[in-house]
Structure 1
Amino acid sequence: MTTVTAQAGNIRRAQAQRAARGEKHELPRAERWRRRAPLLPALIFTIVVTQIPFLVTIWYSLHSWNLLNPGSEQFVGLSNFADIARDSVFRQAAWNSVVITLGCVIVAMALGIVLALLLDRPFRGRGLARTLLITPFLLMPVATSVLWSMAMLNPTFGLFNWTIGLVGIDPVDWTSTYPVVSILFALVWQWTPFMMLLVLAGLQAQPKDVLEAAQMDGAGWWRTFASITLPQLRRYIELGLLLGIIYVVNTFDQIYLMTAGGPGTESANLPFYIYQRAFLGFDVGQAAAMGVVVVIATIIVASAALRLIFRSFDVKD
């Protein structure tokens, strides 16, 4: 027993010495494979449910196939992608996706910061207020869409028209006149609680002694927020913006239920337009090509954003 203990101690000392010299401890190849083996089923499952469908989508994108004509399938190469480049509706849907995504994420983050600052202060009923503010994020997108299209933006008995009617403004058919703005109302209402929670976590994680030192030095609220609080919230804000962009760019429910992409295609984003091409136009090849383009663009944007976030985490304060 003494010999084994001594050997273990020698091994630990040798590892510590190598670490002190900056040398990396390399495990034997068999040991590395043994440690990675439990992850193999998860890796296989991920490949099956993500990469295989994507490869099938790429195969469809290289073919011309209309479901109304089962015998029309033929290989056309990159012709579908060339048609996308000339498709003005696709460009409009891409622009709508950018406007809806950035508009929702930026406004929701700004409101989330304000609400988080208010909830970070102790007051009576703070727990109840926090629960009520989180509730919109817990609702299903379908319920959110129905709530806003019927109870809030309805031209006849909606709450918005009733409110502006109090000051003499005529009723507005919001979803027809301002379709993108109507969708943004619903999305911002749903995503603000998520941003608020992330920022609130950052506020509660900041060291209190630094804030107390700033107060003792005579720094006002705005100076403390701009010089101390906001820089410490940077990582939480970046993470919230990244996650918001990844999820909001896939918005479908609100557009389908509130405006159906209309009037015409004025409020259609990329997911909705792909749905129209695949399930209303029955053009599988072109819909698959659009899906490939959207996936590649999303991967590029997400990779760049992740690189910026990880770089900020690597920077030592």
Structure 2
Amino acid sequence: MATLLERHNQKARRDVAQRQAGGMSRAEGWRRRGPLLPALIFTLIVTQVPFLFTIWYSLQNWNLLNPEGDRFVWFSNYIEIFADSTFRQAALNSVIFTVGCVFFAMILGIVFALLLDRSFAGRGIVRTLLITPFLIMPVASSLLWSVSILNPSYGLLNWLIGLVGIPPVDWTSAHPIASILMALVWQWTPFMMLLVLAGLQAQPKDVLEAAQVDGAGWWRTFISVTLPQLRRYIELGVLLGAIYVVNTFDQIYLMTAGGPGTASANLPFYIYQRAFLGFDIGQAAAMGVVVVIATIIVATFALRLIFRSFDTKD
């Protein structure tokens, strides 16, 4: 009987200690999170409240040219934009810009990072020059490409192809998507290069030395050792690049204005046209909601892949 009573008292003391520890851990957690609450509240106000208003506007037939026709139409705007061929073309252009820019920028970034990972005279100067395009404002880089490089009369690119007898080309009119892609790849290659270069400098040197001792050549070492080491950095660069490039606006607005017609318009530019040129707030808001949801889905899927690779033991 005394033994049972003693066991009961020990269990009661353990329960009390666990409750006290849990209360202390919760209190400690709130003390740590407390200073972050103002920032969290501010972020929710400036991001989620406007998004909720955007959802509300997307359910209304609100055109500034016809204020008397403002009424609640539920999901009619979403049905109309998916039936709009221009919206589908703008969505396809967004995919082309994003995939094309990220792919070519990553390939060039890997090549430049491999070159900069070697020691040579003037490497610091070359590295600074290669980083410079990423530091230029998108508006300035767009003007540089449209005026100095792709201009049909005195552009640098037409001068170069003229040296081999090719007639001048009006790049932004004849090849608007390719023109915008060149400017985007030029701007985003340094960003990819820096991420890959960080991965190259973080890889253990003893593994590379062991591969050389085993007789592996440069290409075999790169494919079997270096590239798997760079996987996380490449995935991170692809994710961040895709999130930013999908919102491209400056290059399209300044280089082609979405033209000819709407041939080079992407979703952000088409939303701008519908809202500020067509004054159709309801459909523009519906397009914005669709873009945000699609971006969240893609980013969530990509983040899961990245976190899974980081959780995997090498």
Q: Same fold (TM over 0.5)?
A: yes
| 1:158 maps onto 2:139 in alignment | no
**Residue in structure 2 matching 1:185, options 153, 163, 182:** 182
* Segment of structure 1 superposing worse, 184-193 or 215-224: 215-224
Q: Pairwise CA RMSD of aligned residues?
A: 1.2
The aligned counterpart of 1:92 is 89
Query: What letter matches 2:260 in structure 1?
Result: P
1:38 deviates by 1.2
Task: Measure the CA separation in 1 of the matches of 2:32 and 2:255.
Answer: 50
Counterpart residue type for residue 300 of structure 1: I
Listed one character per residue, the Cα deviations across residues 276-315 of structure 1 (whole Å, up to 9, x for unaligned) are 0000000000000000000000000000000000000000
Residue 316 of structure 1: aligned partner? 313
Shift of 1:218: 1.1
Q: Corresponding residue for 1:288? A: 285
Which of 29, 37, 41 matches 1:44? 41
Once the two structures are TM-superposed, the CA of residue 163 in structure 1 deviates from its matched residue by 0.7
Matched, 1:149 2:146: yes
1:134-158 per-residue CA deviation (whole Å, 9 max, x = no partner) reads: 0000000000000000111100001
* Alignment correspondent of 1:15: none
Matched, 1:226 2:187: no
Alpha-carbon distance, 1:39 to partner: 1.3
Q: CA deviation at 1:28?
A: 3.6
Alpha-carbon displacement from aligned partner over 1:70-123 (angstroms, at most 9, x marks no partner): 333211110100101110000000000000100000000000000000000000
What is the CA-CA distance between 1:66 and the residue it aligns to? 1.0
SS at match of 1:169: coil
1:117 aligns with 2:114: yes
Per-residue deviation, 1:67: 1.1
Q: For the residues of structure 1 that align with 2:212 and 2:276, how far apart are their CA atoms?
A: 61
Question: 1:7 maps to which residue?
Answer: none
SS of residue matched to 1:123 = coil
Per-residue CA distance 1:194-251 (angstroms, 9 max, x = gap) = 0000000000000111111111111100000000000000000000000000000000
Mapped to 2, the partners of 1:207 and 1:276 lie a distance apart of 51
Q: CA deviation at 1:37?
A: 1.2
Offset of residue 60 of structure 1? 0.3
What is the TM-score when the length of structure 1 is the normalising length?
A: 0.91
Q: Structure 1 counterpart of 2:232, which letter? A: R
Deviation for aligned residue 1:36: 1.6
How much has 1:32 moved relative to structure 2?
Answer: 2.4
User: Residue 142 of structure 2 aligns to which amino acid in structure 1?
Assistant: S
Residue number among 163, 170, 174 corresponding to 2:171 in the alignment: 174
Letter of the 1:105 counterpart: V
SS in 1 for 2:118: coil
The AA in structure 1 aligned to 2:301 is: A
Whether 1:268 aligns to 2:265 is: yes
Deviation at 1:34, TM superposition (A): 2.3
Q: Describe the superposition over 1:139-191 as per-residue Cα deviations: whole angstroms up to 9, x where unpaired.
A: 00000000000111100001111111111111100000000000000000000
**Structure 2 residue identity aligned to 1:202:** G
Corresponding position of 1:128: 125
Partners of 2:74 and 2:31 in 1: CA distance = 44
Cα distance in structure 2, aligned partners of 1:308 and 1:79: 35
Q: Percent identity?
A: 79
Match for residue 233 of structure 2 among 194, 211, 236: 236
2:31 is the alignment partner of 1:34: yes
Stretch moving more, 271-280 or 208-217: 208-217
In the TM superposition, residue 68 of structure 1 has moved relative to its aligned partner by 1.9
Specify the code of the residue in structure 2 equivalent to 1:97: S
**How many angstroms apart in 1 are the aligned matches of 2:297 and 2:158?**
42
Task: Name 1:105's counterpart in structure 2.
Answer: 102
Q: Which blocks of at least 5 consecutive residues in structure 1 are unaligned?
A: 1-24
Distance 1:71 1:41 in 2: 41
How many angstroms apart in 1 are the aligned matches of 2:287 and 2:130? Answer: 37
Residue in structure 1 matched with residue 6 of structure 2 by the alignment: none
Taking the aligned partners of 2:50 and 2:292, their CA distance within structure 1 comes to: 12
Partner of 1:299: 296
Q: For residues 15-38 of structure 1, give each alpha carbon's deviation from its aligned partner in whole angstroms, at most 9, with x where no partner exists.
A: xxxxxxxxxx85543332222211
Q: What is the CA–CA distance in structure 2 between the aligned matches of 1:80 and 1:236, rounded to whole Å?
A: 40
Aligned to 2:3: none
**Distance (whole Å) between structure 1 residues aligned to residue 164 and residue 41 of structure 2:** 62
Aligned-residue offset at 1:42: 1.1
| SS of the residue 2:74 aligns to | coil
Aligned-partner residue type, residue 39 of structure 1: L
